[in-house]
A and B are shown apart, each in its own frame.
Chain A
């Protein structure tokens, strides 16, 4: 987040720019690219039967002997202090085991927060947890009540008497602009970038648009509530958690509670949706502290209200996008700036301008984000952080300019498609967004769109079509290790502390391991969800699949080396090195001379070994610095708007994706579709109602925070180019987040096409269309 960081990353990129491609990861394409095997097959999820039979145990379902139940009290005020605190009545209530407040909470350090310069950290908030009497935001945890039953704990929580001394709070977006911060960097990118004289081009260009777009805050709303079941045994800690970050959580807890890392075990085999909201928050810490003091196992499952109040969501934004074009429709200025809320103690910069920097070729550019300090629950990552809301602004603006120029919006995008990264000139690893548009437009029937808005009507319903580009950067997390354990019988167990929040991690990595090790899918066991396994990075940034894939590839290479070493001089593969063989059909086979082969079984038998085990770490993800890499999409929407009521009903959505190799069409389509449904919610109904008078969220429930209901979700078609990325493991790029991007803009553009009304404030509620 600093100038130092800008300098360091800038230098690394420069050095990598000089370095020959073949020296880098991805310099030689992954040999599995294009090979027909398990990868690419429509495999059903391996954990499907467990889930539909209710046998998959989630964090709040683990039973422990002597367990008690916790409830939290969240602050109803926004700033101030606890002036009076009386826990006597609560402590005397039936079944109460413990009332934990700042008075009896162990003194703990601040949890290190996740950042680009500390990728192993996991904290979402740099605020102290129950360490003093200060209230810093509305919803802050101020007490935990532990009892024999959940009902007893819930009731006793109402008996804790708390008096507050209120202090002025910063709660108003507009007022905070006067003290906006301008960070030096946004994640890995320099924040403020200016190329050429964009203001002048905007003034002089024959065509231009220059508007403000607003997106509200969004609550995290995963179906599984945040939950832990935890117990101490001496200095050994077990935590069943719903988390996207198993190993980092174990590391953080060991440091925080001053115990040996080996004694901390975090288990999270199943997570009911993460979306960026399930990393490390206050609830884990207070539950673990309570378990230690009470010397009892503790279960804490947050209420839906508590999730809304103490787990940060997506921050609100106000974005300016200005575009200018010459008579030929070539962009002469691309401007994307704005404000979003990011308290100093939060971790997510909501990088809405980053996608725009890689989107279009232009003569001039201007980018920059400013942060507003408010006293709010620390905002955090939510599916497609930055790009989800940023693409709404940018892709609405492109549509507005196309309309002004009388050009088809896809054609306008085609005319401004960059050949290399627009700012850095870095080569794209692979970019097929125009192909995605071609395929999508054909499939969707884009040629049926009427260019003139408001001209298609059936009864009272106006119909329109819109499209937009979505994008999300390729990320491969540094570090991450995998262990492979191979038996003489040809069974392989592949292990790491990976997370599965419902995406199908174990299924896809099993498919991958089968191909990588040359074994049938049934021979692979993929172990995950446990911090005792070799550490995987957190599941975030749509990075887990390639991050683990790279570690499996490294471990498979090491295994190959081990097998070759064991094979001995009498083996047909004697003298070959790891890069000179492939693993196929349970054998090592010479690439040059397929007649030279030796089976795993034979090698292990001759060596007198039942098994062989290797552990290896992934290579550094330098490819993402050497190349411009991103998943992209072309989203198409058909929407109907009632001319009577302004109600918007989306009737068709199609996503055409360009995300490299699709590893499993079934789980991938599900990911894309889920992302698009989240985009639909963002477009039409989702909005955190933050009362600026009080600093309190007023719709902390799913009855009042409107995610799409089934009736809102139309048929969603998902297609992809499937063009492998030559620079990434398996040729794959991330697919978890790109699905949400571009959707809100495609819907807003369809609504414009239907009605002639341009709505620049999400959500697209009916009052804005009356």
Chain B
């Protein structure tokens, strides 16, 4: 690990100011950044501790929730309003990592966590365009079981590893940003950039911008929501495929639907095409399969992850059937 200095941000503005400085990186729970420093992937000159920023979870005037960026994952998952109004979020968080890591990890840190690709995390010996732009991608023809089947590019096929964020995109979460030029709000679904030719640029954040909060809109359908994570090991493993869904059915047809996937794309994947295709119809195996075919029409699976096409649509059927009480 390269020596670094340590600073504490006293306010969001202070954090934004420090974040803009060369070599400065924000430190939340440290569950990802410290690992990356140990592995030699990240070499910050200064760590800016932002855990003193807001950890509040407050109900908004509209009836949604505003969640401070430094809120610990465990606290968010355990919050009564989250558990009752947005159970999908609670379950997604609890499906991730381990209790110890969730106790440390912050909400903003979770959103900004980086790739778990083995080649990204191996600066000593592996090529990775995300870590060293232009060096090549060893994952494409290497171990890519945990990698994206959709949204990737020739330069990068890394999948976003978060569980929480899959639920957040399903819930239409908004990201509150603060930078030198002021504050703005971006939907989480538009917050991440697909890799294209520049996989090193992962979000729409400008240099020096920081996340101050996440806002959940009021969403009555979310009271009936679920998260299902598919993995070989029952605990402490990233998703091969995960599904977040909120659904309501009236007279046998879907009247409202939010559907998102984890483990299959460089960002938490909101399945808008599948939602459109399914709305107004019944939840049947055939309908979900057809909708997923539409959603994944652009998929470009590789040797190690082609199974995810089938796994994603099967899991979607099971989750929607469970949520809507039908046998699909």
Contact = CB atoms under 8 A, between A and B. Distances in A.
B311 A646 contact: yes
Nearest to A649: B234
Nearest to B240: A766
Interface in A638-654: 644-649
Contact of A712 (B118, B125, B234): B234
Contacts of B1: 151, 154-155
A540 to B, nearest CB: 29
Contact of B315 (A645, A648, A710): A645
A647 B230 CA distance: 7
B143 A698 contact: yes
A710 B235 contact: yes
Contacts of B3: 155
A440 B19 CA distance: 63
Contacts of A694: 125-126, 138
Interface in A700-722: 703-704, 706, 708-712
A478 interface: no
Main secondary structure of the interface of B (DSSP, over half): loop
A77 interface: yes
Nearest to B124: A76
B36 interface: no
B119 interface: yes
B233 A709 contact: yes
A693 B118 CA distance: 14
B142 A693 contact: yes
A699 B145 CA distance: 13
A288 B37 CA distance: 29
Nearest to A152: B3
B240 A712 contact: no
Contact of A689 (B118, B141, B240, B241): B118
A696 interface: yes
Nearest to A694: B125
Contact of A645 (B116, B126, B230): B230
A712 B233 contact: yes
Contacts of B142: 691, 693, 698
B236 A709 contact: yes
Contacts of B2: 155, 158
A644 B314 contact: yes
Interface string B233-250: 111110011000000000
Contact of A770 (B119, B310, B317): B310
Nearest to A76: B125
B318 A708 contact: no
B125 A763 contact: no
A416 interface: no
A766 B311 contact: yes
Contacts of B240: 766-767
A447 to B, nearest CB: 29
Contact of A698 (B40, B118, B231): B118
A460 interface: yes
| Of listed B232, B235, B241, B317, residue having the most chain A CB within 10 A | B232
A649 B240 CA distance: 16
A154 B124 CA distance: 14
Interface in B304-328: 307, 310-311, 314-315, 317-318
Interface residues on A, range: 35 or more
A333 B126 CA distance: 48
B30 to A, nearest CB: 15
Interface residues on B, range: 20 to 34
Nearest to A74: B124
Contact of A711 (B138, B141, B235, B307): B235
Contacts of A711: 234-235
B231 A647 contact: yes
Contacts, number: 87
A684 B125 contact: no
Contacts of A689: 118, 143
B324 to A, nearest CB: 16
A685 interface: yes
Contact of A644 (B126, B236, B317): B317
A711 to B, nearest CB: 4
A704 B118 contact: yes
B125 A696 contact: yes
A765 interface: yes
B94 to A, nearest CB: 12
A31 to B, nearest CB: 49
Nearest to A689: B143
Interface in B33-57: 40
Contacts of A703: 116
Contacts of B232: 647-648, 684-685, 706, 763, 765-766
Given A685-B232, A706-B237, A158 B141 contact: no
Interface in A432-447: none
B234 to A, nearest CB: 4
Contacts of B236: 709
B292 to A, nearest CB: 13
Contacts of B310: 770
Interface in A139-173: 151, 154-155, 158
Nearest to A764: B232
Nearest to B118: A698
B293 interface: no
B59 interface: no
A713 B71 CA distance: 32
Contacts of A460: 318
Nearest to B35: A703
A685 B233 contact: yes
B141 A693 contact: yes
A306 to B, nearest CB: 12
Contacts of B235: 709-712
B92 to A, nearest CB: 17
A171 to B, nearest CB: 13
Contacts of B172: none
B122 interface: yes
A767 B314 CA distance: 12
A155 B40 CA distance: 10
Contact of A766 (B119, B138, B230): B230
B288 to A, nearest CB: 12
Contact of A691 (B40, B143, B241, B314): B143
Contact of A158 (B40, B116, B145, B315): B40
A644 B315 contact: yes
Interface string A643-687: 011111100000000000000000000000000000000001100
Nearest to B236: A709
Contacts of A708: 233
A685 B315 CA distance: 21
A645 B125 contact: no
A42 B143 CA distance: 47
Contacts of A648: 232
Contacts of B138: 691, 693-694
Interface in A446-476: 460
Nearest to A77: B125
Nearest to B304: A767
Contacts of A706: 232-233, 237
A487 B169 CA distance: 76
Given A155-B2, A158-B40, A767 B307 contact: yes
Interface in B193-235: 230-235
A648 B233 CA distance: 9
A77 B241 CA distance: 33
Contacts of A766: 230, 232, 240, 307, 311
Contacts of B230: 645, 647, 766
Contacts of B315: 644-645
Given A649-B234, A711-B235, A765-B232, 11 more contacts: A158-B40, A460-B318, A645-B230, A645-B318, A685-B232, A685-B233, A689-B118, A691-B143, A709-B236, A767-B311, A770-B314
9 contacts: A138-B125, A154-B1, A155-B1, A644-B314, A645-B230, A645-B318, A693-B142, A712-B233, A766-B232
The 9 closest A-B pairs by CB, nearest first: A76-B125, A711-B235, A767-B307, A711-B234, A709-B235, A698-B118, A76-B124, A644-B318, A645-B230
